[in-house]
Amino acid sequence: MTTASAPTGFTVVIPARMASSRLPNKPLADIAGLPMVVRVAQRALLSHASQVVVAADDERIVQACQAHGIRALLTRQDHVSGSDRLAEACQLLGLPDDAVVVNVQGDEPLIHPGLINDVAALLAQRPEASMSTAAHAIAHLEEFTNPNVVKVVLDARQMALYFSRAPIPWWRDGQADGGFKSLPSPAPLRHVGIYGYRAGFLRLFPQLPPAPIEKMESLEQLRAMWHGHPIAVHITPEAPGPGVDTPEDLARVRALLTA
Q: Is 0.75 topped by the overall pTM?
A: yes
pLDDT at 8: 60
pLDDT at 18: 85
Q: What is the distance between the alpha carbons of residues 142 and 158, in angstroms, rounded to a whole number?
A: 25
Q: Tell me, what amino acid is at 42?
A: Q
Give percent of the chain above pLDDT 90: 74
Residue 41 φ then ψ, to 5°: -65, -40
pLDDT in tens, 79-127: 877 788 899 999 999 999 999 999 999 999 999 999 999 999 999 999 9
DSSP 51-84: EEEEEESSHHHHHHHHHTT-EEEE--S--SSHHH
**pLDDT average, residue stretch 11-21:** 87
pLDDT in tens, 193-241: 999 999 999 999 989 999 999 999 999 999 999 999 999 999 999 888 8
Domains and CATH numbers, the chain: 11-258 (3.90.550.10)
pLDDT at 7: 56
pLDDT in tens, 127-180: 999 999 999 999 999 999 999 999 999 999 999 999 999 999 999 888 877 788
